[in-house]
Amino acid sequence: MTVQSGLPTLRAWLVLLPLLGCGHTEPFGSAPTGTDQPFNPGPPVRLTLNVGSDRGAAWLPDESGILYSSQEPGRRDNDVCLALIPPSGGRQRRLTCDLTPTGIDSTDALESPAPSADGRLAFVAANSPINALTPGSAAIVLGSVTDPQARTPLRGLPYTIPGERMHSTASQLRWLGQSRLLYLGERVDYRRTCPVCWDTLTNGLDVTLLDVSQPGALPSRVPGTDFASGVSAGAHEDEVYYTLGGDARVFRRTLSSGTVSVAHDFGPAGIARDVHVVGSRLAAVVGGRVSFGIDPLLGTVQWDSGGILHVVDLQTATDVTLDGPGLFRRPQISPSGSGLVVEVYPLIITASEPPDTLVSRSGDLYLYGLP
């Protein structure tokens, strides 16, 4: 579960922010505007620098760029935009914000981009009046990498699978072959923390499949994935990986047979989530500021402010942790397996007595090379 406080806008519905902390990203020098050089060559390489949050990164299949959601500061409409940068960082090649010609008069949010090998682009799109708490409309949509605005709705949000729980939204969209989308079906709850403040709580519910070749098709839930916290496609269309709330294991499932095995167990390192697998490499966020339990009002929840980044060789079970300037969320291994882009949320030392350590609400993208 992720939480945002005190922002009664559509951003509070879609933005996946840590439970703890408030603040801003670390100050940095002026961004280069005329080159494809990163903000900081690292290692790790700092790809973005934003007072708002940059998140939900996805590699283009040919590794020619990285798509991500960017919360642009200073916009009156509070849009969460879809940005494209070179794989090495530097200036944005494209920024898509408004979904309609009158977009400046409403709040649009474009999240969880999933580009396909043939140039299609699936993502979550939402629209609402400016400063509304909940979205006026939202859907999983299908457009193209070159023109995200020319989109076709695939499945409106929220929806309910017969006999199952309602999914308020979706995240971690992945292509499973050419005709199916794999993603986390999620629940969104709201809790008032002061007369004008709200917490928006997002919690994973199920690993979900959607057939995009059948307009209006109802999604289907993958059995045994209650309170899933991460999902990834495998080496072929019949294989998926996932993590579950409160669990240190990463599971592998063969969809046709229903066979489930443990791909890796992080054991005492802590709760695993945000899994991504390419070839024999598995990346996941493990431990850190996370807890799993029962909330008296919301039921089963996983509170998550980020954790430690692990990269595992599935052939040898070798587990390597990567250091960074904060806590990690949602790693994405490049299609070739040579690099990894991940959200990093800085730690903030407060001036309280005694001092406390919080986690920034705003993250930036960093790039790690993999051997």
Residue 74 has a pLDDT of 81
Q: If pLDDT is split at 50, 70 and 90, which confidence band does 102 have? A: low
- Tell me which H or E stretch contains 322: strand 318-322
Residue 21 has pLDDT above 80, yes or no: no
Q: Compute the distance between CA of residue 233 and CA of residue 58 in angstroms, rounded to an integer.
A: 13
Q: What percent of the chain has pLDDT over 70?
A: 89
Residue 129 has a pLDDT of 87
In a domain, 41, yes or no: yes
Distance of CA 31 to the CA centre of its chain: 25
Q: Compute the distance between CA of residue 148 and CA of residue 81 in angstroms, rounded to an integer.
A: 11
Residue 5 has pLDDT above 50, yes or no: no
Mean pLDDT along residues 111-125: 97
Q: What percent of the chain has pLDDT over 90?
A: 68
Contact 181, 210 (CB under 8 A): yes
Query: In whole angstroms, how far apart are CA 149 and each of 64, 145, 166?
Result: 21, 10, 27
| Residue whose token pair is 């030392």 | 349
Distance of CA 314 to the CA centre of its chain: 23
Q: Compute the distance between CA of residue 221 and CA of residue 96 in angstroms, rounded to an integer.
A: 31
68 bridge partner residues = 83
Q: Which of 68, 89, 2 is nearest to 367 (CA)?
A: 89
Residue 24 has a pLDDT of 32
In a domain, 57, yes or no: yes
Residue 119 has pLDDT above 50, yes or no: yes
Residue 192 has a pLDDT of 77
| Residue whose token pair is 């839930």 | 221
Q: What is the torsion angle, in degrees rounded to the nearest 10, for the CA atoms of residue 156, residue 158, residue 161 and residue 167?
A: 130
Does the CA dihedral 258-276-323-204 come out positive or negative? Answer: negative
- Number of domains into which the chain is organized: 1
Q: Compute the distance between CA of residue 158 and CA of residue 152 in angstroms, rounded to an integer.
A: 17
Residue 32 has pLDDT above 70, yes or no: no
- CA angle, 329 then 81 then 7, to 5°: 70
Phi, psi of 48 (to 5 degrees): -130, 155
Q: Which of 279, 198, 299 is nearest to 234 (CA)?
A: 279
- Other beta carbons less than 10 A from residue 339's beta carbon: 19
Residue 269 has pLDDT above 80, yes or no: yes
Phi, psi of 14 (to 5 degrees): -100, -30
Q: Which two tokens stand for residue 128?
A: 């609402």
Residue 357 has a pLDDT of 80
Q: If pLDDT is split at 50, 70 and 90, which confidence band does 304 have? A: very high
Lowest mean pLDDT: which of 215-219, 230-234, 323-327?
Answer: 215-219
In a domain, 121, yes or no: yes
Does the CA dihedral 176-178-179-185 come out positive or negative? Answer: positive
In a domain, 352, yes or no: yes
Q: If pLDDT is split at 50, 70 and 90, which confidence band does 196 have? A: confident
Residue 154 has pLDDT above 80, yes or no: yes
Q: If pLDDT is split at 50, 70 and 90, which confidence band does 352 have? A: confident
In a domain, 105, yes or no: yes
In a domain, 328, yes or no: no
Query: In whole angstroms, how far apart are CA 27 and each of 49, 51, 227, 321?
Result: 9, 9, 37, 26
- Across the chain, mean pLDDT equals 87
Which residue range forms the structural domain that includes residue 124? 2-240+337-369
Contact 271, 288 (CB under 8 A): no
Contact 342, 332 (CB under 8 A): yes
Q: Compute the distance between CA of residue 41 and CA of residue 324 in angstroms, rounded to an integer.
A: 14
The DSSP 8-state label assigned to residue 165 in this structure reads: P
Q: If pLDDT is split at 50, 70 and 90, which confidence band does 1 have? A: low
Q: If pLDDT is split at 50, 70 and 90, which confidence band does 140 have? A: very high
What tens digit of pLDDT does each residue of 155-188 get?
999 999 999 999 999 999 999 999 999 999 999 9
Residue 25 has pLDDT above 50, yes or no: no
Higher pLDDT, 54 or 3: 54
CATH number at residue 78: 2.120.10
Q: If pLDDT is split at 50, 70 and 90, which confidence band does 103 have? A: low
Q: Which of 295, 285, 305 is nearest to 357 (CA)?
A: 305
Residue 39 has pLDDT above 80, yes or no: no
Residue type, 17: L
Q: Which of 21, 189, 174, 62 is nearest to 112 (CA)?
A: 174
In a domain, 276, yes or no: no
Distance of CA 87 to the CA centre of its chain: 18
What tens digit of pLDDT does each residue of 44-100 get?
999 999 888 999 999 999 999 999 999 888 888 889 999 999 998 888 999 999 876
Residue 4 has pLDDT above 60, yes or no: no
In a domain, 221, yes or no: yes
